């Protein structure tokens, strides 16, 4: 971030070191150190919304092969414009967001509530990848207990990164706290049917680690 720009993300998220070019993914070789686990927890705490978002977040970008250009959702094009201007979380600023909004407007793309919507979506994608790394890549389940389970449950309840949060619980469901969270979520009202079905499936399946 340039010093005279206005940041749109919390400080701990601005320090996120992984590039948007690679989808904000934590590399598989990332060390399971206390420092990295503490940072992952801090990111998830900072990204967690205070309430359920007004509209559901889009899923990942469509696969590039076997598709015609007109099949791509409009938001995928907006994301490409933003990613070019904001290669890292520290670059998510009001000024760069305004530039992306202006470019989208020039292309005839709807830009209502642009900064609010896209700041929230960037936060959601960072949370998804952090949940993915914690749940699927970290082998030391004790180091994740109970903070990951507590946060994953909240993410599902608040409708952000919900599918990835369920997977994080699934991949750690040998831990009692994860299975307890899934059991509570199975009766939580207001969840989308597909999320509820995923939870029911995980509770029926065997409690393997991976």
Give the DSSP letter of residue 89. G
Written as six digits, the tokens of 44 are 């998830």
The answer to whether the beta carbons of residues 15 and 130 sit under 8 Å apart is: no
Nearest to 103 by CA among 66, 78, 86: 78
Show pLDDT as tens, one digit a residue, over the chain (210 residues). Answer: 567 899 999 999 999 999 999 999 999 999 999 999 999 999 999 999 998 877 666 655 444 444 455 566 788 889 999 999 999 999 999 999 999 999 999 999 999 999 999 999 999 999 999 999 999 999 999 999 999 999 999 999 999 999 999 999 999 989 999 999 999 999 998 888 888 888 888 888 754 444
Written as six digits, the tokens of 118 are 């896209």
The answer to whether the beta carbons of residues 94 and 9 sit under 8 Å apart is: no
pTM: 0.89
pLDDT value for 54: 74
Is it true that the peptide bond before 198 is cis, omega within 30 degrees of 0?
Answer: no
Residue 154: C-alpha distances to residues 52, 84, 109 (Å): 10, 32, 33
Written as six digits, the tokens of 78 are 């907006």
The reply to whether 2 falls in a domain is no
Q: Into how many domains does the chain fold?
A: 1
The answer to whether the beta carbons of residues 172 and 135 sit under 8 Å apart is: yes
The reply to whether 143 falls in a domain is yes
The reply to whether 6 falls in a domain is no
pLDDT value for 60: 55
The reply to whether 65 falls in a domain is yes
The reply to whether 75 falls in a domain is yes
The answer to whether the beta carbons of residues 159 and 53 sit under 8 Å apart is: yes
Nearest to 122 by CA among 30, 53, 70: 53
**Domain range holding 96?**
11-204
The reply to whether 4 falls in a domain is no
């Amino acid at each position: 971030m340039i010093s005279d720009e206005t940041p749109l993300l919390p400080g701990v998220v601005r320090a996120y070191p992984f590039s948007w070019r690679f989808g904000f993914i934590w590399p598989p070789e990332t060390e399971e150190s206390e420092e990295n686990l503490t940072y992952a927890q801090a990111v998830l705490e900072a990204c967690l919304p205070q309430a359920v978002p007004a509209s559901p977040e889009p899923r990942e970008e469509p696969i590039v092969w076997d598709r015609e250009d007109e099949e791509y959702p409009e938001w995928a094009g907006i994301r490409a414009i933003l990613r070019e201007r904001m290669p890292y979380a520290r670059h998510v600023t009001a000024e760069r967001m305004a530039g992306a909004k202006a470019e989208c407007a020039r292309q005839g793309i709807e830009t209502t509530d642009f900064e609010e919507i896209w700041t929230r979506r960037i936060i959601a994608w960072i949370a998804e990848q952090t949940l993915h790394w914690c749940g699927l890549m970290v082998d030391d389940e004790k180091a994740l207990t109970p903070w990951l389970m507590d946060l994953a449950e909240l993410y599902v309840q608040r409708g952000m990164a919900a599918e990835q949060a369920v997977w994080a619980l699934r991949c750690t469901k040998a831990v009692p706290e994860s299975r307890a969270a899934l059991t509570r979520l199975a009766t939580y009202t207001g969840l989308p049917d597909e999320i509820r079905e995923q939870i029911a499936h995980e509770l029926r399946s065997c409690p393997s680690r991976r």
